[in-house]
Amino acid sequence: MFTMKETRQSIILQRLAQKMREETGDLRYRARVEGTQPALRELVWISCTRPIRKFIILDTNTTARRASIEVLLTEPIATSISLWVFFMWGVLFCLISSVSPLFKTLYGFNAGQSGMVYTTIVVGAFIGLGANVYQDKLYRQNVARRGPEARLYLACLVAALFPLAMFMFAWTASQQSHWIWPVIALTIFMFGAFVAYLVVFLYLADCYGPYASSALAGQSLCRNMGSFAFPLFANDMFVDLTYKWTNTLFAGIALVIVPIPFVLFLYGSSLRKRSTLCSKVTFPEEDTTSQADASYVNTPQTRLSYSVP
């Protein structure tokens, strides 16, 4: 963290403006963000409420409150991604809580043997790490043509593997099947979860730019709600429906939400153009200010201005 370079445009411009003022002695060099810095109280309020306002309460570009269904769809990219990771993380924690009793009951594993099954998390994470290196390569090759959606190649693969791994785990976890098959299914699932975790963060950051912290906070809220809520009823489902049919139900729901990454990959650009926040980041409007008033050095999201008396 201490050796990495600053990447936020507003901070870079502030430093550039300060450097130009020091070098020239001309105090008219200003970053536009310097004139719009909110008070500390307002910053705290925005940080605490923007993730909720943006996805639940009201559209940031209107003054009137909208109907709940309209408001939920004002940021479809963040909403759909949040729904996807909400369910994935809920199922992930259900699987983690069921591993030990399932392998003890079906295969007679002792505590040490059932504990070794959790190494699937480590194996899946390492495979996912290698896959994300390849995803970064795909991103660099295609970002000029596809934009932020170049982050979603592996997300589409993971979306298909998610229900496949769940069905495999549900129908191979039995006394008639070797224990290696549910272990392989768990590894595939853990691989997908690790890839999805990184992809979601990078994709939302690319889409929302300076608003990424709010988008990521909303996504993290949904993800943590899923990991909290699902284990509350999962044990009762495992008792009433058995492990096989509970996991089959989860797999069926996972099959329904498979299209989410594919839709974002194919139509993400159109959705961003219609988004109040994304359009400010990836489709900035041309500045129409008269050159008689000021001259500008343009950047993707903000500008450095020099006022002419």
pLDDT digits (tens, 9 = 90+) for 143-172: 999 889 999 999 999 999 999 999 999 999
Average pLDDT over residues 254-272: 91
Asked if 152 and 203 count as a contact pair (C-beta separation under 8 A), the reply is: yes
pLDDT range class, residue 204, cuts 50, 70, 90 = confident
Give 77-136 pLDDT, tens digit per residue. 888 888 999 999 999 999 888 888 889 888 889 988 988 999 998 999 999 999 999 999
Q: What are phi and psi for residue 222, nearest 5 degrees?
A: -65, -45
Give 18-49 pLDDT, tens digit per residue. 888 888 888 888 877 776 666 777 767 666 66
- 297 bridge partner residues: 304
| Cα dihedral 224/225/228/234 (nearest 10) | -120
User: Is the predicted pLDDT of residue 61 greater than 60, yes or no?
Assistant: no
| Residues 187, 190: Cα–Cα separation, whole Å | 5
Question: pLDDT > 90: what percent of the chain?
Answer: 35
Burial class (CB in 10 A: 0-12, 13-18, 19+), 81: buried
Where does the chain have alpha helices with state H? 9-24, 40-52, 68-72, 76-107, 111-116, 119-146, 153-172, 180-208, 212-256, 259-274, 278-282
Asked if 299 and 13 count as a contact pair (C-beta separation under 8 A), the reply is: yes
User: Is the predicted pLDDT of residue 9 greater than 80, yes or no?
Assistant: no
pLDDT at 280: 67
pLDDT range class, residue 289, cuts 50, 70, 90 = very low
Centre a 10 Å sphere on the Cβ of residue 138 and count the other Cβ atoms it contains: 15
pLDDT range class, residue 218, cuts 50, 70, 90 = confident
pLDDT at 284: 52
Average pLDDT score, the chain? 79
**Helix (H/G/I), strand (E/B), else coil: 81:** helix
pLDDT at 216: 80
